[in-house]
A and B are shown apart, each in its own frame.
Chain A
Amino acid sequence: MTEQPSLEVRDLVKHFPIHSGLLQRRTGAVQAVDGVSFAIRRGETLGLVGESGCGKSTVGKTVLKLMDPTSGQILIGGADVTHLGPGAMWPHRRRIQTVFQDPYSSLNPRLTAGTIVGEPLENFDIARGAEKEERVAALFQRVGLRRDAMARFTHEFSGGQRQRLGIAKALSVNPDVIVADEPVSALDVSVQAQVLNLLIDLQDEYRLAYLFISHDLAVMRHISHRIAVMYLGRIVELTDKRTLFSTPLHPYTEALLAAAPIPDPVRKRRGRVILKGDVPSPAKPPSGCRFHTRCPYALPACSQDDPPLVEVAPGHHVACLRRPVGGDPVPLS
């Protein structure tokens, strides 16, 4: 029997209207997310990687229903929650939780750590009173915080400890899916390692599905099972981690991998593809393939034809005119 994916999105679109002029007429739209589809199984991490403005955080906020999609479908454990209002969404909220990037601004400074982590238990009527206290204490222990930290306020915690609090809060309601948006980007590397290890342990223990959003390819390589690369609102490549790093097929993926600095001085100054120019505005994405303006391998057709994301090899999806189904994965030139 095949299990329902923990989280699935189909053709997700999120446009933000632009209003301008005296009458504030709608004059255009920022196409933040423009047709994104993926599914995440239990116990699996899907990494969503891309540069600022590629729409990766908008995907996260939309699947959490913190904003409504313009079109497309969101399914949590097989249930379509796309059009549910706040009330009908309530029972589903327990199943999808989030860990934010900034542990400083995402925790209420006036509440004790124990209250913060225990709040969802009360909200969802899971536990109250002494039972709640016990559960919170167990959660503290599970994420590596001392029990006596429950009485402290968030400003008394370090960045890494705050991120542990955020994780404990997300875990408190036994979710199936955790959307983690840059959860370690604000942390120093020594602490980042602690939090990544914790996230991996928790996933293995509870078979959580993670939608892990990050700009950091090395972190992605460590924590993800599959990785989706986004560029200007679209997924341009989606495959398992090993394939992505050994045989990247989309020119943008190749450029991203080449641009990331490697902590190995012997390998420095290798001949690498450096992308020219900046990412175009998502309010005015280029015609055809959105990457063609920066692509070193673009053909004339790339400025007209918009390549769909197709499965060119088993499990390997690429949106590039130069990467046809069953094509040889040879380097382009």
Chain B
Amino acid sequence: MTNILEVRELATHFFTLDGVVRAVDGVSFDLARGETLGIVGESGCGKSVTALSILRLIPPETSRIVGGSVRFDGRDLAALSEAEMRAIRGHRIAMIFQEPMTSLNPVLTIGTQIAENVVRHTGVPWRAALDRAKEMLDLVKIADARRRIDEYPHQLSGGMRQRAMIAIALSCSPQVLIADEPTTALDVTIQAQILDLMLELKEKLDTAIIMITHDLGVIAETTQRVVVMYAGRKVEEAPVEALFAQPTHPYTRGLMRAVPRLDVDAEIAGRRPRLQEIPGIVPALNRPITGCAFAPRCDFATERCRAKAPPLVSTSADHAVACWETARVLEAA
């Protein structure tokens, strides 16, 4: 399988009154054609900024990509002009966001918003683009597409708005779809509908997906490979089954044990057991972090962890982890 997207040592910094915030601090990963890659982490870990950096959508007044490269289909995106980049956004690489109400235009109909993307990128006549819009609404299973095409975003429910967003994103058959917390704002029964729809369309259209989420359940159910991020860095990467079978970075392990489980009886002899906490809080990113960013919260941390950031090391063919103490962590089981 060849890679459609290769991200190398990406670093995006925000320049604020409180100092330089290293939101993304040297992140690398590949995305194969037709693959679903998950990026998981907590608030502020840099997962969304990574996505926005790929599309060069970070606010230029306050932030800059200070290092690394993004290669899409063999081309270096950083070297493209803004006009060339616009031809890629929404056409070859599309994105859907968490909040469909704020990312759809409230004064344009759903049909117009799909058709304008089609016209912009393929140059077909407006009538043909509207036909395509109707086809897309059918594809994302919005019932009664002929009527919905003339409706405005406020007339649709939250789930339908997200379907409309997906219709816009996929209208030009992109090779990569970046989905940033696409179901976080939705109710659980609607979330199930949208996740199923995304997986079905991915198969049908052979689009690669980057699924960005904080939800390990969504990761487990939708992705093939996972990147775990912490404080702007990648701490672990593995195929999804391997990650859940043997989480290796202490942070990944901590996350998995901290989540209350729906599928496990949470009572031992009539008492509610304690969830395993990760002590402390995430570090502030506006000061340089020496050593491993997770060291202050880690049970396994040593002097070396506090002094020097661990490199990413392969523990097997496709499992990599950035931790000095992997041997001890694995022993602790």
**Interface residue ranges of B227-258 to A (CB < 8 Å):** 240-241, 243-244, 254-256, 258
For B147, the chain A residues whose CB sits under 8 A away are: none
A51 located at the interface, meaning its Cβ lies under 8 Å from any Cβ of chain B in the complex:
yes
| 0 or 1 for each of B198-242: is its CB under 8 Å from A? (1 = yes) | 000000000000000011111111100000000000000000110
Are B244 and A264 neighbours in the complex by a CB distance under 8 Å?
yes
Are B258 and A215 neighbours in the complex by a CB distance under 8 Å?
no
| 0 or 1 for each of B139-177: is its CB under 8 Å from A? (1 = yes) | 000000000000000000111100000000000000000
Are B258 and A260 neighbours in the complex by a CB distance under 8 Å?
no
CB-nearest residue of chain A to B279: A194
Main secondary structure of the interface of A (DSSP, over half): helix
Choice from B195, B217, B282 contacting A263 with Cβ under 8 Å: B217
B124 located at the interface, meaning its Cβ lies under 8 Å from any Cβ of chain A in the complex:
no
Interface size class of B (residues with CB under 8 A): 35 or more
Are B188 and A193 neighbours in the complex by a CB distance under 8 Å?
no
B328 located at the interface, meaning its Cβ lies under 8 Å from any Cβ of chain A in the complex:
no
B260 located at the interface, meaning its Cβ lies under 8 Å from any Cβ of chain A in the complex:
yes
**Interface residue ranges of A213-231 to B (CB < 8 Å):** 215-219, 221-223
B4 located at the interface, meaning its Cβ lies under 8 Å from any Cβ of chain A in the complex:
no
B263 located at the interface, meaning its Cβ lies under 8 Å from any Cβ of chain A in the complex:
yes
A110 located at the interface, meaning its Cβ lies under 8 Å from any Cβ of chain B in the complex:
no
Are A265 and B220 neighbours in the complex by a CB distance under 8 Å?
yes
With A190-B42, A264-B220 as known contacts, state yes or no: A257 contacts B189, CB within 8 Å.
no
| 0 or 1 for each of B250-272: is its CB under 8 Å from A? (1 = yes) | 00001110111111011100001
Residues of B within 8 A of A (CB): 42-43, 157-160, 187-193, 195-196, 214-222, 240-241, 243-244, 254-256, 258-263, 265-267, 272, 274-279, 281-282
Residues of A within 8 A of B (CB): 51-52, 158, 160-161, 188-194, 196-197, 200, 215-219, 221-223, 241-242, 245, 255-269, 272, 274-276, 278-279
Beyond A215-B187, A260-B217, A264-B220, 15 additional pairs, beta carbon < 8 A? A161-B281, A193-B276, A193-B277, A255-B189, A256-B188, A259-B189, A259-B191, A260-B188, A261-B217, A263-B216, A263-B217, A268-B221, A278-B158, A278-B159, A278-B190
